[in-house]
Amino acid sequence: MALIEVENLVKEYKRKISGEGIKDALYHILHPVYETFRAVDDISFSIEKGESVGYIGPNGSGKSTTIKMLTGILTPTAGSIHINGRIPTKERIKNNREIGVVTGNRSTLYWDVPIIESFRLFQKLYEVPDNIFRKNLEEFTEIMGLESLLHVPERQLSLGQRMRCNIAAAFLHNPKTVYLDEPTIGLDSESKRRIRTFIKKMNDERDTTFIITSHDFQDIEMLCRRIILINHGKVVLDNDIEKVRKDFDQKKKVRFEVENNYAMKSGEHCLPGVSFQYIDSYLIEAEYNTEEVDAMTVVGFVSKYCPIKDITITGRDIETIVQDILYKRL
């Protein structure tokens, strides 16, 4: 059995319907009417130890709801979850010892006490042996730049500093799996950089499994080997990032730096399978479909009209590919 096994998972929320207009609204306060809403709709996946998974999808697609079920905070309406063979809601304490949870908009630390005291409380709670605690604290302080923050209460820290402390706290007890729900939302670039380096190191060196949701595709590109894309509570795609890139990246871009692009622009020259964009007088961008033409043909075509000074060929990034899958532009 894989470390995380999710089968036909469903979560339904009951939502109050509020009527339109004051009269209706008043009526509904006294006679509430509920509708069922499926936030997670028959999701299955399995994750092996050591994997790094990006759980992505548009707002409201059911990411946080799934994470809450995986961590045992919410009970599924139907379907099953096994984490290391356990059902998280049934064996919550045992499960909690093996997981770390980070939520971008909620802190697990104590607002009024110095960070180091919160860390020590976690140590007690999770019964972390002194030597492990000290070793982790030292290493995490270094990577996350926590030295000057440890003796300050959380309320005096910036959002980025707070998040770095929260993430360090989630790894202090050497969890097998860490769930990160929007850990970098609204953060400064220094904090983002440190957080990414830290998570990557934990995954590389300690084989810590993690699932991360993020709107920032740089997090996903840097940290995840696999993505699970969901929309309206359903899995749309589940694959290795590299595979996704290969499968969907039929379009490539070539950027030409030329002496001037006048001859090409004014002639409105066309090549099937290629769309040209004129960024300024010295730059031409060509997006081409690899099934129709190859790079050499595109380069040859442009060089007929303009002397080329430099060429850069790029694929599309994973963010564009994901948008294309979601909005069916492929």
Ligand X SMILES: Nc1ncnc2c1ncn2[C@@H]1O[C@H](COP(=O)(O)OP(=O)(O)O)[C@@H](O)[C@H]1O
Site membership for Mg ion, residue 103 (CB under 5 A): no
Residue with tokens 């860490």: 178
- Options 3, 63, 191, 212; binder of ligand X; rule CB under 6 A: 63
Instruction: Specify whether the CB–CB gap between 253 and 287 falls below 8 A.
Output: yes
What is the C-alpha separation between 179 and 276, in angstroms, rounded? 43
Which of ligand X, Mg ion, none is residue 13 near (CB under 5 to 8 Å by kind)? Answer: ligand X
Q: State how far the alpha carbon of 183 is from the alpha carbons of 67, 164, 186, 199, in Å.
A: 13, 9, 9, 11
To ligand X, the closest distance from the beta carbon of 37 in angstroms equals: 6
Angle made by CA atoms 260, 263, 265, in degrees to the nearest 5: 90
To ligand X, the closest distance from the beta carbon of 215 in angstroms equals: 9
209-213 and 52-56 strand pairing: parallel
Structure-token pair, residue 62:
């059911």
Beta bridge partners of 310: 257
DSSP state of 300: H
Site membership for Mg ion, residue 65 (CB under 5 A): no
Which of ligand X, Mg ion, none is residue 164 near (CB under 5 to 8 Å by kind)? Answer: none
Indicate the residue among 37 and 262 with the shorter CB distance to ligand X: 37
Site membership for Mg ion, residue 214 (CB under 5 A): no
Site membership for ligand X, residue 61 (CB under 6 A): yes
Q: Which amino acid is at 225?
A: R
Binding mask 37-56 for ligand X (x = CB under 6 A): x-x-----------------
Among candidate residues 206, 213, 217, 207, the one with its CA nearest the CA of residue 101? 213
Site membership for ligand X, residue 64 (CB under 6 A): yes
Indicate the residue among 27 and 37 with the shorter CB distance to ligand X: 37
Stretch that binds Mg ion, among 62-70, 160-168, 223-231, 308-316 (CB under 5 A): 62-70
How many residues bind ligand X, per CB under 6 A? 12
